[in-house]
Amino acid sequence: MQSNREQAVRELYQALLRSWNSRDANKFAALFMKDGICVGFDGTEYCGAEEIASALAKIFHDHPVATYVWKIRDTKQIDDHTAILRAVAGMTPPGSRSIKPDRNVIHLLVARKHEGHWLIASYQNTPARYDGRPEAVEALTAELQALV
């Protein structure tokens, strides 16, 4: 059974990806601490909720972004105010229901409880390329495709 804290952190992560899927840069950024950090798929670092909102607004305006499909692997409570969530995610291009294997990622989210609310302190979006292990890419893609 999940604790209230674990559930809150899971809901925070899910709200993050839902805001991406709805192309809502402000809602996405509002889930971060004022000085939160977001590391994008290409390694770009966005520092602070304002920078995150601004950068995502441009991305959403200029590109037809793919939709996330995800699976939470686990959460770990560090202390009463800090938790780490680990997940995998894939993306389906606009108009498709097929996961693009080259867009599979590992997500790591650090959440902090601030003034009674859980917010994102850091979010890392790392490509799951699994260099030299195509069977690992295929397995993750199949796992994520089953969620579509």
pLDDT at residue number 3 = 84
pLDDT at residue number 81 = 95
Cα–chain center distance at 50: 18
Task: Pick 4-145's CATH classification: 3.40.50.300, 3.90.226.10, 3.10.450.50, 3.40.50.620.
Answer: 3.10.450.50
- Which candidate, 108, 115, 35, 112, places its Cα nearest to that of 77? 112
Residue 87's φ and ψ, nearest 5 degrees, are -145, 165
- Report the relative pairing of strands 45-47 and 32-39 from DSSP bridges: antiparallel
Q: What is the pTM of this model?
A: 0.94
For residue 37 the two structure tokens come to 């950090």
Which residues of the chain, if any, have pLDDT below 50? Answer: none
3-state secondary structure of 133: coil
What are the boundaries of each domain within the chain? 4-145
CA 25/CA 16 separation, integer angstroms:
10
CA 62/CA 42 separation, integer angstroms:
16
pLDDT at residue number 1 = 65
